[in-house]
Amino acid sequence: MVQFFKASKKNDKQPRKGIVAALDHQLQGVVREHNGGTRFVAGALPGEQITYKPLSKFSAELLSVKSVSTERIEPPCPYYQACGGCDVQHLNESNQQTYKQAAVAGLLQKFAQTEQLSWQPTLMADAWGYRRKARLATFWDGKRQHLRLGFRAAKSKQITEIANCPVLRPSLSALIEPLRQLIFNTGLGRTLGHVELIQANVVHVVLRVLKPLSAQQKQELTAFAEQHSLAFWLQDDNSVASVTTAKECNDAFCYDQSIDGDRLYFTPGDFIQVNADVNEQMVRQALAWLAPESDAVVLDLFAGVGNFSLPLARRVKQVIAIEGVAGMSQQLAANAQAAGCDNLIAETQDLSQIGAKKLASYNATHWLLDPARAGADKIVEQLGQLPEQRKPKRIVYVSCAPDTLARDSKCILAAGYRLKQLGLVDMFPQTHHIETMVCFERVA
Ligand SMILES: C[S@@+](CC[C@H](N)C(=O)[O-])C[C@H]1O[C@@H](n2cnc3c(N)ncnc32)[C@H](O)[C@@H]1O
């Protein structure tokens, strides 16, 4: 039998030294190793000499930094080291944006061969206190009679206990400690899955419960709701039901868009953009970049509950809004009806299965794509197969994952489009998540 040499794996996980060459699209430090391999080290910055410990084939944990980058700042949040949430606080916001833009540019250049990008100013608002929705994990430690309430640690099931969260809207952050007390005092911690905090037009607290509440527990929740002017909901496997609502609160989940004064209703579990201020700017920019004429027919793909669809419907002849989750597209239809937009058609469809024939049948002049991280490959693959007169004149692509954006851009460009405008949307400051908006225009 032929014997092959196999390097010993014994020292694979031993700490190593390296120099960070760049940041990748998740804002992790990239280290080129002597053996030709590459490691991605979260928390490391370009130019730094670091010691790291390999975790898997490509990833590594940062152990220490020897020569510290001048860009490194002290992370403002006291939970930064333990919490899995905001992982790029060691850079100020301006540098976060610079690296994010460079990451998008690099991927677009590599996969879609785009040069000379026409970057528009980044859309941004407050870099702290912006998040209007968050899910807190809970764990009841019976032995210690202790309730853990907080966020999951990075790549772990451990809960990092927090007393406040500086990226959460202040109204939600201020509830964390009082809620901990309430859950502990009422004994709810024993039967609680998680807690969801939502700042919509009013504050909602959704408790994922494994057992019905007692009358006494409901009474205590009512007193808390009145004291903090909020609405409590119970969520089980099948439904979300109102428990109690402060007198001055309307008890529906909804947010108002200042663009046309429309109200968007949703239910917990439905997607809504987490950063309300940046979202409004993003919707306005999508309207401006798509620039549809009043007789336009717009296809809003991955439409959610109608964040883009309603403002579009107010400006064009017709909008066809497609969403994969049936409950959300039904909600979208109800939102359109409440807003009096009878030129808006809401359809439920799995867009990973849609064919060119179906896409062509809409005869849309403009497309808006706002997919989840997986991107919109199945749709953009069909674009090249559409007859020329059925291709939209402009496409605005809103992306939350630059790698799939770059992949899909290649397809759009190959179908006869040019990249007209692009810009960063700083939807998630302090985190590595990158939101980008791109406008493509059909080349005549
Ligand atoms: C990033 S969200 C955008 C929602 C909406 N445009 C907004 O701004 O609120 C992506 C949406 O795509 C939907 N989605 C994901 N995969 C889908 C698929 N294969 N087919 C249809 N919709 C899908 C999700 O349910 C979600 O509502």
What average pLDDT does the structure give for the chain? Answer: 94
Phi, psi of 357, deg, nearest 5: -60, -45
Residue by residue, DSSP assigns 75-87 as -SSTTTTTBSS-T
H or E segment to which residue 268 belongs? none
Q: What is the mean pLDDT of residues 212-236?
A: 94
Residue 277 among known ligand-binding residues: no
- Binding site membership of 354 for ligand 1 (Cβ less than 6 Å): no
| pLDDT of 345 higher than 90 | yes
* ipTM exceeds 0.90: yes
- Binding site membership of 370 for ligand 1 (Cβ less than 6 Å): yes
Residue 2 confidence (pLDDT):
67
- Binding site membership of 276 for ligand 1 (Cβ less than 6 Å): no
Closest CA to 432 of 29, 91, 87: 87
In which band, very low, low, confident or very high, does the pLDDT at 118 lie, cut at 50, 70 and 90?
confident
Given a contact cutoff of 8 angstroms between Cβ atoms, the answer to whether 177 and 193 are in contact is no
Q: Where are the alpha helices (DSSP H) in 119-175?
A: 170-173
Domains of the chain: 7-72 (2.40.50.140), 99-126+273-442 (3.40.50.150), 133-199+201-252 (2.40.50.1070)
Residue 306 confidence (pLDDT):
98
Residue by residue, DSSP assigns 9-42 as STTTTS-EEEEEEEE-TTS-EEEE-TTS-EEEET
- Binding site membership of 308 for ligand 1 (Cβ less than 6 Å): yes
Q: What is the pLDDT of residues 262-319, one digit of tens each?
A: 999 999 889 999 999 999 999 999 999 999 999 999 999 999 999 999 999 999 999 9
Q: Which residue CA neighbors atom 5 of ligand 1 most closely?
A: 304
Q: Which residue CA neighbors atom 6 of ligand 1 most closely?
A: 303
Cα dihedral 64, 66, 67, 68 sign = positive
pLDDT cut 70: percent of the chain above it: 97
Q: Which residue CA neighbors atom 13 of ligand 1 most closely?
A: 302
Ligand 1 centroid to Cα of residue 419, in Å, is 23
Using CA atoms, how far apart are residues 387 and 378, in angstroms rounded to an integer? 17
Please give the number of the atom of ligand 1 that sits closest to the Cα of 325: 25
Please give the number of the atom of ligand 1 that sits closest to the Cα of 400: 1
- Binding site membership of 47 for ligand 1 (Cβ less than 6 Å): no
Residue 84 confidence (pLDDT):
80
In which band, very low, low, confident or very high, does the pLDDT at 251 lie, cut at 50, 70 and 90?
low
Ligand 1, pocket-test mutation among 259, 271, 300, most atoms within 8 A of CB = 271
DSSP-derived secondary structure letter, 391: S
Give me 341's structure tokens: 């937009």
- Binding site membership of 350 for ligand 1 (Cβ less than 6 Å): yes
Question: Which one from 86, 400, 411, 439 is the annotated catalytic residue?
Answer: 400
Strand partners, 263: 256
pLDDT cut 90: percent of the chain above it: 85
Q: What is the pLDDT of residues 11-45, one digit of tens each?
A: 578 999 999 999 999 999 999 999 899 999 999 99
Could you give the C-alpha distances from 194 to 104, 139, 389, in angstroms and in order?
35, 8, 51
Residue 116 confidence (pLDDT):
83
Residue 156 confidence (pLDDT):
80
Using CA atoms, how far apart are residues 30 and 52, in angstroms rounded to an integer? 12
Q: What is the mean pLDDT of residues 426-434?
A: 98
Phi, psi of 312, deg, nearest 5: -65, -45
| pLDDT of 228 higher than 80 | yes
- Binding site membership of 323 for ligand 1 (Cβ less than 6 Å): yes
Angle between helices 215-228 and 176-186 (to 10 degrees): 160
- Binding site membership of 325 for ligand 1 (Cβ less than 6 Å): yes
Residue by residue, DSSP assigns 296-358 as -EEEEES-TTTTTHHHHHTTSSEEEEEESSHHHHHHHHHHHHHTT-TTEEEEE--TTS--HHH
Q: Which residue CA neighbors atom 26 of ligand 1 most closely?
A: 304
Contacts of 29 (CB under 8 A, 6+ apart): 20, 22, 23, 40, 41, 42, 43, 44, 45, 46, 48, 50, 62
Q: Is 386 exposed, middle or buried (0-12, 13-18, 19+ CB in 10 A)?
A: middle
Using CA atoms, how far apart are residues 243 and 359, in angstroms rounded to an integer? 44
Ligand 1, pocket-test mutation among 255, 301, 302, most atoms within 8 A of CB = 302
| pLDDT of 10 higher than 60 | no
Q: Which residue CA neighbors atom 8 of ligand 1 most closely?
A: 307
Closest CA to 435 of 407, 409, 397: 397
Lowest mean pLDDT among 155-169, 352-366, 380-394: 155-169
Residue 297 confidence (pLDDT):
98
Ligand 1 centroid to Cα of residue 324, in Å, is 7
In which band, very low, low, confident or very high, does the pLDDT at 131 lie, cut at 50, 70 and 90?
very high
Angle between helices 93-112 and 402-414 (to 10 degrees): 40
Given a contact cutoff of 8 angstroms between Cβ atoms, the answer to whether 103 and 40 are in contact is no
Using CA atoms, how far apart are residues 333 and 321, in angstroms rounded to an integer? 9
